[in-house]
Amino acid sequence: MTRVMHENDTNFTGKVVWITGASSGIGEALAVLLAGKKAKLILTARREAALMALSDRLDTAVKVLAADLYAADFQALTTAALAAFGGIDMVIHAAGIGQRSLAAETPLKVYRQLMEINFFAPVAITGCLLPVCKAHMVVIGSMSGLMGFPGRTGYAASKHALKGYFETLQVEQDVPVTIVSPGRVQTNLSLSAITASGEAHGVMDEAQAKGIPAMECALRILKGVAQKKKHVIIARKEKYLYWLHWWWPSMYYKIAKKYSFASGK
């Protein structure tokens, strides 16, 4: 079962890649690109019909493993993923949900939901895989995993936790890890983002709609992975905010406070 992509292997052909969050957005774009490179794909998300429709479009070997990562049997899911093609070379942890609520109005159960899907699910999958294989872990974090942003206390916490876990895993266990921190990408993330009531935000935020196209983001992710990058930042002007966060913190706090999650800007 132990199979690891070769150090300098920039060729995804024949590699077994498990993508969570493959039914839309960044995960779907990655599936399309990897299918073009003839990787063998295992696709996971809740919407089985969307995964099957995607699978039909892909000219490569695909196994659909639909699951709700909020409350999955991770051992059974991982066993099924390993059995699909006899091993796993890479896992792309792309499944995730966003948040649109202020801390003062957000109940603990909303924080738990964000942590379950964005943090505990990747940790659980990784924990099940570690005893049997050292698959390359590609983790879709966020710029919110590097700094705070209004309306996203739980989302930012989950993405900070994700970065902390996988960065530590890499130094502790020598597992190949690529952490990806995108800024805004044109996907459905703001539509499905959880609000204080637990309902979906249901709005395509203006800034989300103007984000980097999902396919461009996916291309840059695969370029970083092929180059064995440990951290890939894919952002437009958000990256200046990140630099300010390091080099001129008082200015970062001033600017970040002006962002309004309510206006979607």
Ligand X SMILES: NC(=O)c1ccc[n+]([C@@H]2O[C@H](COP(=O)([O-])OP(=O)(O)OC[C@H]3O[C@@H](n4cnc5c(N)ncnc54)[C@H](OP(=O)(O)O)[C@@H]3O)[C@@H](O)[C@H]2O)c1
Residues that bind ligand X (CB under 6 A): 21-27, 45-47, 50, 68-70, 94-97, 117, 140, 142, 182, 184-185, 187-189, 192, 208, 211
Please report how close the Cβ of residue 251 comes to ligand X at its closest, in angstroms.
23
Judged by CB, which is closer to ligand X: 38, or 46? Answer: 46
Judged by CB, which is closer to ligand X: 55, or 208? Answer: 208
Determine the Cα–Cα distance for residues 243 and 230; give it in Å rounded to an integer: 18
Judged by CB, which is closer to ligand X: 3, or 231? Answer: 231
Please state, in angstroms and as integers, the Cα–Cα distance from residue 132 to each residue in 86, 98, 112, following that order. Answer: 11, 32, 29
Both tokens assigned to 44? 């996971």
Strand pairing category for 136-140 and 99-100: unpaired
Catalytic, out of 70, 111, 155, 259? 155
Please report how close the Cβ of residue 250 comes to ligand X at its closest, in angstroms.
25
Please report how close the Cβ of residue 256 comes to ligand X at its closest, in angstroms.
16
Judged by CB, which is closer to ligand X: 170, or 188? Answer: 188
Which residue's Cβ lies closest to ligand X?
25
Both tokens assigned to 53? 């429709």
Please report how close the Cβ of residue 8 comes to ligand X at its closest, in angstroms.
27
Phi, psi of 181 (to 5 degrees): -120, 90
Determine the Cα–Cα distance for residues 185 and 258; give it in Å rounded to an integer: 20
Is 253 designated active site? no
Contact 93, 117 (CB under 8 A): no
Please state, in angstroms and as integers, the Cα–Cα distance from residue 212 to each residue in 195, 216, 226, following that order. Answer: 24, 7, 20
Which residues are known catalytic residues?
A: 155
